[in-house]
């Protein structure tokens, strides 16, 4: 059991704020893409917003309980949220549904890119430096001791969490976004049949278990690759 020190609680606070913001952006992107594609279901439900409260009300377990428990036991956060959509709209427009699915991970990768850009700017300005050993809470460190430690930690978590959310949700297994985004690679008629099969599939729980097992192997490689792109020549393992 972790010690509830001020540092532990402060780091947990930063993790949760970044988690709320990142997950809200993910679901708001789904809702906005669906609305632009002709399905206002999520927008009518209040999900096309960067206000986290409608998302918390819809998924309190995934947005509050599980993130806090995961931080307590693992010192990083995981969780989930959801945005409703009209299945009949998906049947009429399978490619639009594919773009809707892709919008969530796309928002996460955009946030990761912005965090990386801020880190690189800080490195160029002499405020930040590559850490001797990177972790989920430390992708960048202070070049010298000072008051910017909170910013370095927040940018580190923003970078890692959005890389994690974007990569995990792109895995092509139900019920993750990647399984629907695959429809964009198919002709509309074939995509329609595929999405019908996906909706009726009874393998959603199995797919989630497979994704978690696969992700444990994939993400260490993805994390190392992202670090080496962020710091060319650093040679993180």
Cβ atoms of residues 67 and 52 within 8 Å:
no
Report the pLDDT value the prediction gives residue 158, as an integer from 0 to 100.
Answer: 98
Q: Average model confidence (pLDDT) for the chain? A: 90
CA-closest candidate to residue 133, choices 22, 235, 233? 235
Task: Identify any residues that bridge with 129 across adjacent strands, giving them in sequence order.
Answer: 141
Asked whether 26 and 81 are in contact (CB, 8 A), the reply is: yes
**Structure tokens of 89?**
């709209």
pLDDT digit string (tens) for 11-33?
A: 999 999 999 999 999 999 999 99
Note the pLDDT tens digit of each residue in 152-206.
999 999 999 999 999 999 988 888 899 899 999 999 889 988 888 877 766 666 6
**What pLDDT score was predicted for residue 1?**
62
For the range 64-67, what are the long-range contacts, defined as Cβ-Cβ under 8 Å and sequence gap of 24 or more?
Answer: 67/15, 67/16, 67/19
DSSP state string for 169-208? HTSSSTTSHHHHHGGGGS-HHHHHHHHHHHHH-S-HHHHH
Which H or E element spans position 142?
strand 141-142
What confidence score (pLDDT) does residue 204 get? Answer: 66
**Whole-angstrom Cα distance, residue 221 to residue 137?**
17
Of 92-101, 123-132, 215-224, minimum mean pLDDT range: 215-224
Per residue in 81-126, pLDDT (tens digit) is: 999 999 899 989 999 999 999 999 999 999 999 999 999 999 999 9
Identify the residue whose tokens are 């532990």: 8
Classified as helix, coil or strand, 128 is strand
Q: Which pLDDT does position 172 carry in this prediction?
A: 86
Residue with tokens 């009300």: 57
């Amino acid at each position: 059991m972790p010690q509830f020190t001020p540092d532990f609680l402060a780091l947990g606070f930063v993790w949760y704020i970044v988690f709320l913001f990142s997950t809200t952006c993910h679901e708001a992107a789904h809702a906005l893409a669906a609305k632009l594609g002709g399905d206002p279901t999520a927008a009518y439900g209040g999900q096309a917003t960067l206000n986290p409260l409608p998302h918390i009300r819809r998924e309190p377990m995934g947005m509050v309980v599980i993130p806090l428990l995961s931080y307590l036991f693992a010192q990083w956060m995981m969780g989930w949220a959801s945005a409703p959509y009209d299945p009949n709209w998906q049947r009429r427009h399978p490619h639009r549904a594919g773009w809707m699915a892709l919008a969530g991970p796309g928002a996460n990768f955009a946030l990761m890119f912005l965090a990386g850009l801020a880190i690189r700017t800080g490195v160029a300005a002499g405020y930040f430096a590559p850490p001797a050993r990177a972790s989920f809470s430390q992708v960048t460190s202070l070049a010298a001791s000072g008051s910017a430690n909170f910013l370095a930690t927040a940018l580190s978590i923003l970078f890692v969490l959005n890389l994690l959310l974007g990569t995990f949700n792109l895995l092509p297994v139900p019920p993750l976004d990647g399984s629907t985004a695959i429809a964009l690679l198919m002709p509309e008629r074939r995509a329609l049949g595929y999405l019908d099969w996906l909706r009726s599939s009874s393998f959603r729980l199995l797919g989630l278990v497979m994704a978690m097992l696969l992700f444990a192997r994939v993400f260490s490689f993805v994390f190392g690759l992202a670090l080496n792109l962020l710091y060319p020549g650093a040679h993180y393992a």
